[in-house]
Structure 1
Amino acid sequence: MVKHIFYHFLETKEKEEENRRCDLQLGHPRSEFVERNNRSPQLLYLFPWEIKKVISTHDLQHQIGLELNAKQVKEHLLIHWDGETKGRVINGERIPIQMLDLDTRTEYQVFFTKWPNHDMYLILGSWFMEFVANRNVTSGMTIGLYWDKKSKTLRVSVLDKFI
C-alpha cells in the first residue's frame, strides 16, 4: 500500500455557508492521507460459468455425450427447473433442452438425463462431436456451462482463452 496526500481546495456547501455567516475568509486547504493499492485490477468475468468441465480423454473416446458432476448439476441447473422436470430427470428420463455455444452462436437440441445407478448426469446428442470438431476441443481443455434463466437455455463456451 502506498500513501498519497490529497488536498481539498473546495469547501462543502455547508462549510461554505457557515463561513459566509461567520464572515470568515477561506481557510487553508484541508488535506488527507489516502492509501492506494498498487496491484493491478483483476479481470472481470462477464459470464457466470457455474459449471466448469475439463474435457477428459474418456469424454472424447466414448462420444456418448458430456458427463457432469451431480453436485454441480444440482446446485446450478436443477434449481432453475420446475419440480416436474427435476423429478423426470432424477428418475432417468431424457429431457430435451436447448443449448447455445456462445462463441459460435450455434444452437443444439440436446437431451439431459441422469446416469442410471450412478451419481452423474449426461448431456446427450450429436452436439458433442460437432462441438469438439468445430471448436478443436482436445483433452485437458476447459469448457464452461451455465443456465440462462431468461431464454431457458444451457449456455456453453470454451474457457481456455479466458483463463
Structure 2
Amino acid sequence: MAPNGDAYVVNPSTPEGASRFANARLSPAGPHRTIYVAGTACVRPSEGTWPGVTENEDGTQTLDIRVQTAAVLENIDNVIKGATDSKGGVQNLIDAVVYVVDMDRDYAGMNEEWNKVFPTRSVAPARATIGVKQLPDPRMLVEVKAVAVVEM
C-alpha cells in the first residue's frame, strides 16, 4: 500500500500513460475505509459509451443532463462497489462536489436526478455545486468528485 492508501482503477489494463490517476483511493486500512472518488463523468469506462449523448444524423450531438447525472451517480456507485468488494456504494457518500458546465440550463435537471438517488437530507452527502467554463470533454455536462466512508 502507498502512504496515501490503496489505488482502485476501474480498468487496470489501461496503460499508465493514458491516465495517471486512480478512479478512487482508499485510505489506509482500518475498520472504516475512506474512499476518495476521482472526478467521474457519464462515460462508461468498460464500454466507452456516453449515456446522455446522442449522435444526430447531421453530425451534431444532443446532450441530456438528467441522463448524464444518473450515469455519473451509477458510475460512482460502481467505483465504490468495485473498490470495496460491494461492501459500499453511492449511499456511502459523505461529501461531493458537482461541476456543471451551464448552471442556468442544467442545474435543475442535475438536481432532480440527484434527488432521486438522495431523496432526503438525512441520507444525502454534503454537497457543493460549482459552475465551470468547461470539462475535459465537450460531451460532458456534469462531473462529480466525491468521498465515501465504508465499514470494511
The answer, yes or no, to whether TM exceeds 0.5 is: no
Interval containing the TM-score (normalised by the shorter chain)? under 0.3
The structure having more radius of gyration, on CA atoms, is 1
**Normalised TM-score (structure 2):** 0.28
- The structure carrying a bigger strand percent of its residues is 1
